[in-house]
Amino acid sequence: MRALVLQHVPFEGSARIGDWIGRHCEHEHVCYLYADARLPALDSFDLLVVMGGPMSVHDEAQYPWLVAEKRLIRAALDAGKKVLGICLGAQLLAQALGAAVRPGRQAEIGWWPLHRYSQALGSPLGERLPERLMAFHWHGETFDLPAGSVPLYGSAACANQGFIWNEQAIGLQCHLESTAESIEALLDACPQDLQREGAVQSAGRIRQGVAHCREVAPVLFLLLDYLAHRPAEIARRA
């Protein structure tokens, strides 16, 4: 499997997703959109990973590369490629599938629990996912569920935390890929976000929760194994 990672800012890399790619993909191409990197051809990858970022899906005037990125995501879906979207990436995925992206009821930053929806059992993936999960969050916008998708998780502050569409694409509003290092990079780059109203934790409390990174990593790897059709690994992680 060949993986393409779309990265929007220097401080939101693939983290544990990169670990999985290194173990299971014969080729990885990281496209640094913030550095005006050229998007590769559609036939150059099998798995598309769209990372997070502080911009909005609606900021095309400020970030013109969003236009081409959206076209590539839609083309990847039409071509049957596997797609994983994280935070902004999930919002871009949802928009590509026709769903609205809008400001959330409140910002959600820090460690907050997820609950699995009963509807998640509508996908074979759902029964393999834990009913409760402590996840890391850093977002102010949210997405509506795309038509035909199966909701996976929600939280108290954000109803739509994850979905699977057509057994082909998964969107996660939260950051299951986080490591202590990736969280520190966010804290360094966006300290002003911690002053926002809503479900927002302090930097100290966020750092206290980094042990959760190891707890959620198997769930992230399960999602990637599922997209990659790795049945032995799926059974082992279930």
List phi, psi (to 5°) of 203. -60, -40
Q: What is the pLDDT along the chain (238 residues), one digit of tens a residue?
A: 999 999 999 999 999 999 999 999 999 999 999 999 999 999 999 999 999 999 999 999 999 999 999 999 999 999 999 999 999 999 999 999 999 999 999 999 999 999 999 999 999 999 999 999 999 999 999 999 999 999 999 999 999 999 999 999 999 999 999 999 999 999 999 999 999 999 999 999 999 999 999 999 999 999 999 999 865 566 666 5
For residues 86 and 143, what is the distance between their CA atoms, to the nearest angstrom?
Answer: 12
In the prediction, which pLDDT does 236 show?
65
Q: For residues 94 and 89, give the distance between their C-alpha atoms in angstroms, rounded to a whole number.
A: 9
Those residues whose C-beta lies under 8 Å from the C-beta of residue 90, and which sit 6 or more positions away, are: 50, 143, 162, 171, 172, 173
Distance CA 135, CA 53 (A): 17
Q: Domain map of the chain by residue range? A: 2-237
Rounded to whole angstroms, how far apart are CA atoms 221 and 224? 5
Q: Exposure of 10 by Cβ count < 10 A (0-12 exposed, 13-18 middle, 19+ buried)?
A: exposed
The Cα–Cα gap between 215 and 234 comes to: 17
Please tell me the distance from the alpha carbon of residue 55 to that of residue 76, in angstroms, as a whole number: 22
Beta bridge partners of 30: 5
Cα distance between the two ends of the chain: 22
Q: What CATH superfamily is the domain 2-237?
A: Class I glutamine amidotransferase (GATase) domain (3.40.50.880)
- φ, ψ at 231 (rounded to 5°): -60, -35
Q: What is the pLDDT of residue 229?
A: 86
At residue 199, the pLDDT reads: 98
**Residues paired with 114 in a beta bridge:** 133
- What's residue 76's pLDDT? 98
**What's the rounded Cα separation, in Å, for the pair 107 and 76?**
30
pTM of the model: 0.96
Contact by Cβ (8 Å): 39, 69: yes
* Rg, Å, the chain Cα set: 16
CB 155 within 8 A of CB 107: no
